[in-house]
Amino acid sequence: MEDCKRTVKRKKNKTEKQEDVIKSKIKSEEESKKPIDLKYGPLPTFTNQRIWSRAILILGASVVVYFTSKSNKEISFAKQRDLIESRQHNVICSEDYKSELDKFPGCVPEICGRYVTDKLITETEANELLEVAKKAFSLSVSEGGASIVDLHSGALSMGKVFVNIYKLESGADLFSAADFFTYKSVRTKIQNLVSQHFKISPNSLFLTHPTFFSRLTSKDAVTPHDEYWHPHVDKETYKSFHFTSLLYLNDFGLDFNGGRFVFIEKNNNTLVIEPKKGRVSTFT
């Protein structure tokens, strides 16, 4: 009997504890229902509060998406399939650029920016210059992905160094008078384009060095000269440069992939030019 009583007593104690827990929970719930005195008074409420809250959240998310999408955009300035008569993109001239040109009367451009045209150089001229480049690179190219030949100085990429193409036995009579005539004619056209577009006297423009043909491939870089893809400013790389002009001799997407020219804007947007045979791009 003693054992039975003890068992019953223990059960009663357990039941009493459960009741205490239940009472405690009920008491806590009742206390939580009591109004809380807020330090700064009651929170404001208004009609359709939940709907307005959701609308504000959606608007906030939209603003974030909008401003995020406004940066790091790739903007096509000239696609290979485009036939461009004249296209320009003006930018504000930098102060250091203007201050240097101020030293040379007649050299300060009225505008700074980029200009593209597919109507300046004829298909025949582009093909003839392509053959000139092929002649040179048939003698030698760089071990890496970038090779150049400069008809003025004779510099030609050979392995990891440069040699004078005119001093090579096979290069002495490599180019014909017609080759040089075409080169000079095209160079004069581009020089006049720079003069007209940027409104500078043609007598104030002079050809500088280096002026060269370049051949870019997918080979791994061997020397720093092969790493042409790094962001850079021509004026910082070549102190004598004030204007740069490019003439493309083959087509992006047809003759090769890659090789696009990219301007990086202050907001990290990029302005892209795709190579097209005969296309001229010039910029400050």
Task: Give the pLDDT confidence of 56-73 residue by residue, as tens digits.
Answer: 656 555 544 444 455 579
Task: Reply yes or no: is the peptide bond before residue 35 cis, omega within 30 of 0.
Answer: no
Q: Would residue 182 count as lying in a domain?
A: yes
Q: Would residue 244 count as lying in a domain?
A: yes
Q: Would residue 41 count as lying in a domain?
A: no
pLDDT digits (tens, 9 = 90+) for 98-129: 888 778 777 788 899 999 999 999 999 999 99
Q: Where are the alpha helices (DSSP H) in the chain?
A: 2-32, 49-69, 95-101, 123-137, 177-197, 234-237
* 24 pLDDT above the threshold of 80: no
Q: Would residue 24 count as lying in a domain?
A: no
Q: Would residue 93 count as lying in a domain?
A: yes
Taking CA atoms, 195 is separated from 79, 84, 180, 263, in Å, by 25, 19, 22, 22
Domain region containing 197: 74-283
Considering its fold, how many domains does the chain have in total? 1
Q: Would residue 44 count as lying in a domain?
A: no
Q: Would residue 15 count as lying in a domain?
A: no
Distance between CA 276 and CA 116 in Å, rounded? 11
Q: Would residue 107 count as lying in a domain?
A: yes
Kindly state the tokens that stand for 256: 């090769």
The better pLDDT of the pair 36, 123 is held by: 123
| H-helix or E-strand spanning residue 74 | strand 74-78
The better pLDDT of the pair 50, 263 is held by: 263
pTM: 0.73
